[in-house]
Amino acid sequence: MSQGNRGMAFEMLLNLINQMYAKQKVALINKRPTPVKVLKSKGTKVLNGFYEAPSTVDYDGVYKGRAIAFEAKSVGIDRFDLKNLHQHQIDYLEKVDNMGGVSFVLIEFRSTKQIFFVPYSTIKHYVHHALKGGRKSIPLVDLEVYAFEVKRTKRSTLDYLEWVDKLIGEVAV
């Protein structure tokens, strides 16, 4: 699978789940397009262009009156390299978190067929330690302890909102 397409199946699955959430009037979560300046096109096909600016994160929307923002990543190894998250994405997740929204990263481990919901607070912890010279990745075994495995529920085949509910419950005043 090419470098650019490694997460496409995961993204397509998330898009279907988000459509299902919208149809059930559970949540409105949208895939954010990357801003592209088109230089040349033929019909609906872009032949030449460039990214105008970095995008924020892959998905955002609203659930139970709260802003939701998350990045989706897919890896083929047993760790998540922090370099897979760009600084502008981390900054955006932090802004959402600071404003009372829910921000997180969904990480698919293709080798073990596991998907983890990683709250921004956990990402922040690992990024902070990496900047101080610590490990530059999050091992799968750490995520099994400090993150939440996303599984099938009655609501969805991949119900990441189950963990949003738990996170909202933890931070509710």
pTM: 0.86
Give the residue from 161, 173, 152 showing the smallest Cα distance to 68.
161
Count how many domains the chain has.
1
71 annotated ligand binder: yes
**Contacts by residues 152-158 (CB-CB < 8 Å, ≥ 24 positions apart):** 155/24, 155/26, 156/17, 156/20, 156/21, 157/13, 157/17, 158/13, 158/14, 158/17, 158/115
CATH of the domain at 68: 3.40.1350.10
Q: Is 143 exposed, middle or buried (0-12, 13-18, 19+ CB in 10 A)?
A: buried
Instruction: Give CA 108 to chain center in angstroms.
Output: 10
What domain range includes position 114? Answer: 3-171
Q: Is the pLDDT of residue 47 over 70?
A: no
Q: What pLDDT is recorded for position 91?
A: 96
Which secondary-structure segment (H or E) carries 114?
strand 114-119
34 annotated ligand binder: no
pLDDT digits (tens, 9 = 90+) for 76-111: 999 999 999 999 999 999 999 999 999 999 999 999
Q: What pLDDT is recorded for position 44?
A: 77
Q: What pLDDT is recorded for position 1?
A: 44
pLDDT digits (tens, 9 = 90+) for 104-132: 999 999 999 999 999 999 999 999 999 99
Q: Is the pLDDT of residue 27 over 90?
A: yes
Q: What is the largest CA-CA distance in the chain?
A: 54
> When comparing pLDDT for 173 and 62, which is higher?
62
Look over the chain and give the mean of its residue pLDDT values, rounded to a whole number: 88
Return the residue matching tokens 């460039």.
Answer: 50
56 annotated ligand binder: yes
> When comparing pLDDT for 50 and 140, which is higher?
140
